[in-house]
A and B are shown apart, each in its own frame.
Chain A
Amino acid sequence: MKYREELRKAMALLASDLRTLFVGQAVRYPGQAAYPTFADVPMNRRIELPVAEDFQAGYCMGLALEGYLPVCFYPRWDFALLAANQIVNHIDKARWLGWQAKVIIRTAVGWSEPHDQGPQHRQNYSKAFGEMCQDIDVVELEEACEVMPAYHTALLAERSTILVERIPLYGK
C-alpha cells in the first residue's frame, strides 16, 4: 500500500460525491508534490485560486453555504496558518452561527530529516488547531492505511475536518 496512491484513491472517492469542488493552489497546475493525487478529479471540479490563504478558506465556506462540499487544499500547514482567521472564526463557528457549511481541509507537514526543509516548511500545527477549534476534527495521516478511512469519515461527517498528510510520504 502506497501513501500517494491512497491519496489518489481518496481524492477519487471525494470526487464521486458530485457536491465536491477541489479548491486551492496546485490543483489545476502541476509542480507541487500533491498534484498527482488529483489525477482522477475532473478538471471542471478544480478551482485554482490566487495565493490568498484566508480568502481561500472563506471562499470555501461560501461555496458550502450554497450546497457544495469544498475540499480546500493547502500544500503545507505553514501556509494554512494564514487561513487561521477564517478557519477558526467562521468555518469552526458555522453551526454556532446557524449555518450548515462543511469544508474538508487538506494540508500537509514537511520534513526535517535528512535534509531540513526549514522552519517555515515543516511545522505541524495540528495540536494547536485542535485546541482552537471546537467543531472541526483534526486528523493526522501518518501511514498509508489511514488515508482512505479518514477521508471516508470526513466525507460522511456532519462537521468539517482538517486532514494532515505527510509530504515525505508523497513519494512512497
Chain B
Amino acid sequence: MDLIAFEAEVAAKIANGEIRTPTHLCGGNEEQLIKIFEKIGPDDWVFATYRNHYHALLKGIPPEAVMRQIVHGRSMTPCHPGHRFFTSAIVGGCLPIAVGVAAAIQRHHTPEHVWCFVGDMAATTGAFTEATRYAGGHKLPITFVIEDNGLACDTPTREVWGSGDPDVLHYSYKRQQPHLGAIAA
C-alpha cells in the first residue's frame, strides 16, 4: 500500500469538495511508522489519534474501508473492532482505554500487546502521566508511542507550556485519625 498516494487521494477529495468534514492528513512519518508496525501483530490492539490514516492502513485495514469511512466524515474516528483498531477525536482520549485493554489482557494471560499512539501535546497532559504511570507500575502489556511534530493541530506544544522547572515542596507525615462522617447518623 502506498501511504503517500493514499493521503494524496484524500487531499484531492477534500480539494474537490467530496470530503467536507474535519480531516487530519498524515505525512512525513512514513518510515518511522512502517518500522514500528513491523512489530505489531494482527491480534495486537492499536489505539490511534485523530491523525490515523497511516495507522489504519498499516494495521491491515483495507484501503477501500479506510477511504469509505473518511468520505463518510469519520476521518478522526475510524474504528474497526475486527482489526482491534480504536481511534478517538479527543486528545489523549484513548490513553486510559488502552490501559484498560492492557489490564484485561494481563488478566487473561494471553499474548496480545497494546500499542497506544499519542501526539506530543497529549504526552504532556495529566492523562498521559496517569496512563503511563499505571501501566508501568502494573507491568501491563502496552507500549506508548509519542508522535512528535511539535504541534497540537496548530498550537506549538513547547512554546505554550513554556520552559523552566516548577517550585514544589514535598513533606511526609503519618495520618492520626480515620476518615469520619461519611454516613448520616
Contacts and interface: CB of A to CB of B under 8 A. Distances in A.
Interface in A8-59: 31-33, 47, 49-50, 52, 54-59
Interface stretch (B4-12, B55-63, B75-83, B164-172): B75-83
Size category, B interface = 20 to 34
A168 B184 contact: yes
16 contacts: A31-B179, A31-B182, A49-B134, A54-B96, A59-B134, A61-B100, A62-B97, A62-B100, A62-B101, A64-B100, A89-B93, A97-B77, A99-B86, A167-B183, A170-B183, A171-B183
Interface string B124-146: 00010011001000000000000
B90 interface: yes
A15 B99 CA distance: 23
A159 interface: no
Interface of B: 77, 79-81, 86, 88, 90, 93, 95-105, 107-108, 127, 130-131, 134, 178-179, 182-185
Contacts of A89: 88, 90, 93
Interface residues of A, number: 35
The A interface, classified by DSSP as helix, strand, loop or mixed, is helix
